[in-house]
């Protein structure tokens, strides 16, 4: 079996937030996962992409079923994956996997169509894998092309303008409960990119005082200064919750920051005056039971998804144009990727031809020699030219074959014809190539 591209993961289309948050990985856990996967059976190279909407293993796999089983075992051991939950995961390969990666990077598979946040997540995932040493020739080429396609989509379509984000959708949810936001007090917990976007959108919508709260005081103060907001202490969160009309929470904390009991206390102090809580964190920051508290309107990522599910007609038209770009680029890139995949066979083919030519030259020298130095050099040059022409013809034929199955069959036939070694040897060559 020839190595191929594969994506194994789950996202907001295949699983609710309650499932996604269980398999979300912070940077440290992603680093561990990368090292585990690249040492696993069936895996040559690996990238782990984890956002609030998806967790995906992007793999260059020597054997996709074996690689999928390696992912299954890892998630079972480390995240207590149950067999019945495996249905939330998808397994994509070859062109389907390549199309998926291009679509994700271009914002076509985002909860908010065209949302720009995914680009930073993709870059971060790729950079982390490079630092971990788990990518090589193949995945580096795929990710570089994916970012190039994204740039083309952003340049040639209007899918990213105006910038509609999850944060913007959060503002709309607040308006549905509170009406106009002029003068409303906002408390933002978390100092990351999503918190910044949420605070910015709320301020543009007319919100009055905006407070920024973060466990790391310096980062909270930095964001507050950037926005012209007020930095407040996390230790005083209950006090600030009692005066806030809108709470937006987006942290990477692995456990809940606000329980139902705490929310009930806040609601009583507010005399159950309406309060919007928007939890755009995965794992969730606010206990789901808080939505049962009188006067509190809790929205999580599933609610945000429903709010942004329908896209305006102009954005749909932009999406269709973007899809055409993606499909065109997939068709153009797949030949290069498969040619790269067949490179170990081409190298072995060239080496085998060189070996056969050397053997025949030795026979020629024994039967008709000795030759002069010029004659011997001419014979050596002639055989090298013949080898080069045959190898170039092989490479052209591989690139021109339209289907990867045809290329695989052709490569296998060449290997049998010239007895290019055992499959295990080819696999070793692929791993060495992917690390170059």
* Residue 52 annotated among the catalytic residues of the structure: yes
Cα 142 from Cα 346, distance rounded (Å)? 21
Strands 4-11 and 54-61: antiparallel
Q: Cβ(77)–Cβ(306) under 8 Å? A: no
Whole-Å CA distances, 321 to 34, 324, 346: 35, 5, 38
Neighbours of 138 (CB within 10 A): 21
CA nearest neighbour of 171 among 189, 208, 197: 197
The stretches of 342-372 forming alpha helices (DSSP H) are: 343-368
Instruction: State the number of CA atoms in the 13 A half-sphere of 261 facing the CB.
Output: 1
Tell me which of 52, 150, 253, 256 is the catalytic residue: 52
What single DSSP character describes residue 384? H
> Hey, is 44 helix, strand or coil?
strand
Q: How does strand 230-232 pair with strand 246-249?
A: unpaired
How would DSSP label each residue in 70-124?
HHHHHHHHHH---GGGGGG-EEEEHHHHHHHHHHHHTTTTSSSTT-THHHHHHHH
What residues act catalytically?
52
């Amino acid at each position: 079996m020839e190595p191929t591209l594969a994506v194994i993961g789950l996202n907001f289309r295949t699983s609710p937030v309650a499932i996604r948050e269980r398999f979300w990985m912070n940077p440290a856990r992603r680093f561990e996962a990368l090292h585990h996967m690249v040492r696993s059976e069936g895996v040559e190279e690996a990238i782990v992409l984890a956002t609030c909407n998806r967790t995906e293993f992007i793999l260059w796999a020597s054997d996709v079923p074996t690689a999928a089983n390696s992912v299954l075992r890892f998630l079972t051991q480390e995240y207590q994956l149950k067999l019945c939950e495996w249905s939330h995961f998808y397994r994509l390969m070859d062109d389907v996997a390549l199309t998926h990666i291009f679509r994700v990077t271009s914002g076509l598979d985002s909860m908010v169509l065209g949302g720009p946040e995914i680009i930073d997540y993709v870059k971060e995932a790729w950079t982390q894998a490079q630092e971990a040493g788990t990518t090589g020739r193949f995945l580096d080429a795929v990710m570089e092309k994916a970012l190039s396609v994204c740039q083309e989509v952003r340049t040639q379509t209007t899918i990213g303008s105006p910038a509609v984000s999850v944060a913007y959708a959060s503002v709309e949810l607040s308006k549905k409960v509170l009406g106009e936001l002029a003068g409303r007090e906002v408390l933002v917990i978390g100092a990351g990119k999503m918190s910044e976007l949420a605070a910015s959108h709320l301020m543009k919508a007319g919100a009055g005082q905006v407070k920024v709260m973060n466990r790391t005081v310096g980062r909270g103060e930095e964001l507050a200064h950037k926005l012209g907001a007020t930095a407040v202490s996390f230790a005083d969160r209950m006090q600030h919750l009692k005066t806030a009309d809108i709470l937006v929470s987006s942290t990477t904390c692995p456990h809940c920051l606000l329980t139902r009991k705490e929310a009930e206390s806040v609601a009583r102090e507010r005399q159950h005056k309406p309060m919007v809580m928007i939890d755009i964190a995965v794992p969730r920051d606010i206990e789901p039971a808080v939505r049962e508290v009188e006067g509190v309107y809790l929205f999580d990522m599933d609610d945000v998804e429903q709010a942004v599910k329908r896209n305006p007609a102009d954005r749909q038209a932009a999406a269709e144009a973007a899809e055409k770009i993606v499909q065109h680029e997939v068709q153009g890139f797949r030949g290069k990727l498969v040619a790269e995949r067949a490179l170990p066979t081409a190298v072995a083919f060239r080496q085998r031809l060189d070996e056969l030519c050397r053997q025949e030259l030795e026979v020629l020298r024994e039967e008709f020699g000795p030759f002069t130095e010029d004659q011997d050099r001419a014979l050596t040059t002639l055989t090298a030219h013949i080898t080069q022409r045959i190898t170039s013809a092989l490479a052209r034929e591989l690139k021109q074959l339209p289907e990867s199955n045809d290329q695989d069959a052709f490569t296998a036939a060449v290997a049998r014809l010239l007895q290019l070694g055992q499959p295990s040897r080819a696999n070793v060559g692929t791993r060495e190539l992917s690390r170059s």
